[in-house]
Structure 1
Amino acid sequence: MTEREPYRVQIKVRQYELDSLGHVNHAVYHQYAEVARTSLIEDAGGRNGELEKARLATVMLESRISFRRELRYGDVVDVTCEVKFGDGKTFRMDTNIYKADGTLSAEITSTLGIMDLDRRRLVAEPRARFEEAGVDTAMLGG
């Protein structure tokens, strides 16, 4: 059995994302991860309306980043993400940002949950709640 490739999106670094040193501003790395995260959930079926009908939404609880190599204007990057479910109300998403030559530029680890939008509380068993809403959890990676 072969290991599944993580979900991947491509983003081109824009000039306005640079800081005074000429490389991508630190906060932009988180934005790139957010683009990949929301695209993954949408592509896995998370925007089919069932999460919204159930008054549920994913919520970011924590995000940590390790910078490895700088990104500069014009670079095209691959942003990968993969969900890891465990026990409890939260799940983890690992995101990596790679330069075109395969060099790892940043590693981002995030903790997320699914929030009940009426109660403003996290729900139990996020994998099961995704599946109930028609989200392909195999595509999420977990």
Structure 2
Amino acid sequence: MGGGEGSTARESLKHKDVEKVIMCDIDRMIVDFCREHLTENQEASRDDKLHIVFNDAKDELEKTEEKFDVIVGDLPDPIEGGPCNDLYTKPFYEQVIKPHLKDNGIFVTQAGLAGILSHKDIFTSIYNTVKHVFKYVIAYTAHVPSYADSSGWVLVSTN
């Protein structure tokens, strides 16, 4: 979900056992721009295993019966008036993500800034929301120099 710049697809395709990567992004203009100008992702954008879908990720998941080994949320932060707020809610995780994960499936989502002073803004809320839906939840962080802070992710497993 998201990842229009192509970096998530690039990293996923590095794994030889990956058979197919579906990148669903709503913004064709961003995807096309990044495919042309981000040279580090160009090889991945030409990989036959990559299938790009231009649609709202929620709509796309709701209309398919397909189950996935891994679903990655590489979306903008859920901020007031933002385009992805519905993709960080308990109903979305319960009704859309969980039913589309295979047994032993994994869901991981970016969860905003997670530093000592910033974690309460978004990160903690996403983590707590996901904990209400999935039994196995791990939160993790990494320092991102361009943000001058730590970024957070939340990873879940169905089993």
TM-score range, shorter chain: under 0.3
Q: TM-score, normalised by structure 1?
A: 0.25
Q: Which has the higher strand share?
A: 1
Structure showing greater relative contact order (alpha-carbon pairs closer than 8 Å, 6 or more residues apart): 1
